[in-house]
């Protein structure tokens, strides 16, 4: 910790709280969402907020943002008690949110996004936007956050981490005293995550408080002065100092020790199920990819954002065509050409996509229909789909995968992220996969559900399925994979066996160096 950070930490510890929550309670029909919750926020402190999906984090944030009212309790701001807040009161109190789903206009520049609806005007009744004043107002905010781009940069040209910085600049422009970051690193690789954690430290050094919500517990350990743990709507622990560690947080979150044996002995003798030779994607048409995926192994695919990992997955699943004159894909010794994703599915190659809500599920449909949709003919009688057959198959999947839902007729949108991911997996497991690609399999999923997803992946590999796991979570890549292939600018820079798998080796390959 730097001297300035140390001084800030000392100041925040001794400062009077400007925000106090006392006895907040919120219930919905049949559900206790938040139970008599209390906490304080001091200037310039970083508070980690952790808990499984459904623990009450979102309810608490909605109360702070003025979106919903608590059933009882008080919110005290600068000594003034309120039974609840409106959105306007929350903003006036200096409470700002940076949501996991960014709210930016990518066809506009940075300055326009920061001051959207509040732009300085010129020329009297014409009320034209004064771009000079606008850019001069935004530049100090970007300087404060260590941004390397200008107010005039178009948002579409920025990386995800840089877009997060724009959202934080927007919060600072509102003279925020508390910035709430909801899963800010869920879409970021390790290099950009470190940059964002530096930004959080900078906010703290300037006396701005941060509530940091994340399922990546190692980042919570790194960033937080204090950690608040929720379980089933209850405050079950507040951790400080050396008590902030992975095992303690997990134990409080799930109510027990959660031991995940990530890796069984590495497999190197399985038959090659999927062989990729000299394949080029349209994103990197000059760079060839060679890769073998073996039965009974989990092959991790690492790399920085933009390295071409998802593009490769899309080619293998038949969504995109490889670059013209590209090489070959061989499945079980036979060359294949997947012109469509349906052709890939018919051959037994499946994809669990990065965007499970947008590309993996029909959220308004019941669980049963999501599970059976890719293989409807298997449930048809005389060309009519049998609802009983659909529900019987889906019910078996619900039990086998422990999908937490009262029945398979429930809308998929009502499930937590982890259970939605299980539904995506269930539809493929019902069809005997030969190779399955997981693209960011645990993004936005809590620690308990992560452990279940890892066990399901390992069970697939143990059954002889070839598993390719694309992940930006370094802990996950190292912990889950039997081997790790690292991509750099559209080609495989190197492949690591278990003994070579380390953060340093993966990062060296990811930036185009050798080990």
pLDDT in 10s for each residue of the chain, 515 residues: 343 444 455 555 557 899 999 999 999 877 788 999 999 999 999 999 998 777 888 899 999 999 999 999 999 999 999 999 999 999 999 999 887 767 889 899 999 999 998 888 887 787 888 889 999 999 999 988 888 899 999 999 987 778 888 988 988 888 899 999 988 877 676 667 788 888 899 899 989 999 999 888 888 999 999 999 998 889 999 999 999 998 888 888 877 555 554 555 555 568 999 999 999 998 899 999 999 999 999 999 998 777 899 899 999 999 999 988 888 999 999 999 999 999 999 999 999 887 777 777 888 999 999 999 888 888 888 778 888 888 999 999 898 888 888 889 999 988 877 788 889 888 888 888 899 999 888 877 777 778 888 888 898 898 899 999 999 888 889 889 999 999 998 999 999 998 898 888 988 898 788 88
What's the gap between Cα 223 and its chain centre? 17
Structure tokens at 369: 């229909």
Q: How far apart are CA 12 and CA 390, in angstroms?
A: 57
Exposed, middle or buried by CB within 10 Å (0-12, 13-18, 19+), for 482? Answer: buried
The interaxial angle of helices 160-173 and 190-205, nearest 10 deg, is: 20
By the 8 A CB rule, do 7 and 171 touch? no
DSSP state of 373: G
Residue pair 81/42 in contact by the 8 Å Cβ criterion? no
Helices (H) and strands (E) in the chain, counts: 17, 24
pLDDT tens per residue across span 343-400: 999 999 999 887 777 777 888 999 999 999 888 888 888 778 888 888 999 999 898 8
- Backbone torsions φ then ψ of 312, nearest 5 degrees: -65, -45
* Distance separating alpha carbons of residues 266 and 296, to the nearest angstrom: 9
Q: Which pair of structure tokens corresponds to residue 406?
A: 């009262």
Residues in the chain: 515
Superfamily of 271-348+434-447+466-515 according to CATH:
P-loop containing nucleotide triphosphate hydrolases (3.40.50.300)
pLDDT for 6 equals 46
State residue 421's pLDDT score: 84
Closest by Cα among 49, 94, 304, 78 to 190: 304
d(CA 309, CA 469): 10
Helix 417-429 / helix 387-400 crossing angle, nearest 10 deg: 120
Single out the residue of 514, 505, 492, 158 nearest to residue 312, CA to CA: 492
User: In whole angstroms, what separates CA 265 from the centre of its chain?
Assistant: 28
**What's CA 342's distance to the chain center, in Å?**
28
For 141-173, what is each residue's pLDDT tens digit?
A: 998 888 889 999 999 998 777 888 898 898 888
420 touches 367 (CB < 8 A): no
**Which strands form 80-82's sheet, in the order they lie side by side?**
31-41, 19-28, 72-77, 80-82
Q: Tokens for 101, please give them.
A: 């789903």
Asked whether the beta carbons of 18 and 43 are under 8 A apart, the reply is: yes
- pLDDT for res 7: 46
Domain segments of the chain: what residues?
1-94+178-184+210-253, 271-348+434-447+466-515, 358-431
Torsion of CA 403, 409, 414, 419, to 10 degrees: 20
Alpha carbon distance 271, 268 (integer Å)? 9
95 — phi, psi (to 5°)? Answer: -100, 120
The two structure tokens encoding residue 231 = 């379980």
Does pTM top 0.75 for this prediction? no
**Partners of residue 335 on adjacent β-strands:** 330
- Residue pair 446/361 in contact (Cβ under 8 Å)? The answer is no
**What's the pLDDT score for residue 1?**
39
- CA–CA dist 139, 153 (Å, integer): 11
Tell me which DSSP letter residue 154 carries.
B
Same fold flag, 1-94+178-184+210-253 and 271-348+434-447+466-515: yes
Are the CB atoms for 352 and 438 separated by under 8 Å? yes
Q: Do the Cβ atoms of 135 and 173 come closer than 8 Å? A: no
pLDDT of residue 256: 58
439 three-class SS: strand
Structure tokens at 238: 């507040």
Query: What is the pairing mode between strands 128-129 and 121-122?
Result: antiparallel
Q: Give, in words, the CATH class of 1-94+178-184+210-253.
A: alpha beta
Nearest partner of 300 among 108, 37, 488, 482, judged by Cα: 482
**Predicted local distance difference test score (pLDDT) of residue 427:** 86
Its sign, for the CA torsion 343, 344, 345, 351, is negative
Strands (E), 86-165: 95-98, 121-122, 128-129
């Amino acid at each position: 910790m730097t001297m300035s950070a140390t001084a800030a930490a000392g100041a925040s510890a001794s400062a009077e709280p400007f925000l106090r929550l006392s006895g907040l309670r919120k219930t919905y029909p049949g559900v206790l969402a938040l139970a008599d919750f209390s906490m304080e926020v001091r200037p310039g402190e970083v508070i980690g907020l952790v808990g499984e999906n459904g623990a009450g984090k979102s309810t608490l944030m909605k109360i702070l943002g003025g979106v919903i009212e608590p059933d009882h309790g008080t919110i005290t701001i600068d000594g003034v008690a309120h039974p609840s807040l409106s959105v306007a009161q929350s903003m006036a109190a200096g409470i700002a949110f940076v949501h996991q789903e960014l709210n930016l206009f990518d066809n506009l520049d940075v300055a326009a996004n920061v001051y959207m609806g509040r732009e300085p005007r010129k020329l009297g009744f014409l009320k034209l936007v004064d771009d000079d004043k606008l850019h001069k107002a935004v530049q100090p905010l970007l300087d404060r956050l260590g941004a390397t781009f200008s107010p005039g940069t178009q948002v579409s040209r920025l990386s995800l981490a840089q877009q997060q910085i724009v959202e934080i600049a927007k919060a600072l422009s509102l003279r925020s005293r508390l910035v709430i970051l909801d899963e800010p690193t869920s879409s970021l690789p390790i290099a950009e995550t470190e940059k964002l954690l530096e930004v959080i430290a900078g906010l703290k050094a300037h006396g701005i408080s941060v509530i940091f919500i994340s399922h990546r517990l190692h980042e919570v350990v790194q960033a937080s002065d204090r950690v608040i743990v929720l379980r089933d709507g209850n405050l079950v622990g507040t951790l400080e100092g050396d008590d902030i560690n992975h095992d303690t947080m997990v134990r409080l979150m799930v109510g027990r020790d959660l031991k995940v044996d990530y890796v069984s002995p590495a497999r190197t003798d399985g038959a090659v199920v999927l062989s990729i030779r000299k394949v080029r994607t349209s994103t990197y048409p000059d760079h060839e990819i060679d890769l073998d995926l073996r039965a009974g192994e989990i092959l991790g695919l690492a790399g920085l954002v933009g390295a071409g990992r998802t593009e490769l997955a899309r080619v293998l699943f038949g969504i995109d065509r490889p670059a013209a004159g590209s090489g070959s894909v061989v499945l079980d010794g036979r060359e294949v050409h997947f012109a469509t994703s349906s052709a890939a599915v018919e051959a037994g190659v499946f994809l669990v996509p990065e965007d499970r809500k947008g590309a993996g599920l029909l959220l308004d449909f019941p669980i049963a229909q999501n599970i059976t949709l890719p293989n409807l003919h298997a449930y048809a009688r005389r060309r009519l789909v049998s609802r009983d057959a659909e529900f019987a198959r889906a019910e078996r999947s619900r039990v086998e995968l422990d999908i937490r839902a009262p029945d398979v007729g429930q809308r998929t949108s009502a499930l937590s992220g982890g259970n939605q991911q299980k539904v995506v997996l269930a539809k493929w497991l019902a069809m005997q996969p030969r190779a399955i690609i997981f693209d960011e399999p645990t993004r936005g999923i809590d620690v308990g559900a992560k452990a279940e997803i890892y066990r399901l992946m390992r069970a697939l590999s143990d059954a002889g399925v070839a598993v390719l796991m694309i992940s930006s979570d370094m802990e996950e890549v190292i912990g889950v994979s039997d081997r790790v292939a690292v991509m750099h600018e559209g080609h495989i820079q190197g492949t690591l066996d278990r003994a070579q798998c380390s953060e340093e080796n993966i990062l060296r390959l990811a930036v185009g160096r050798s080990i």
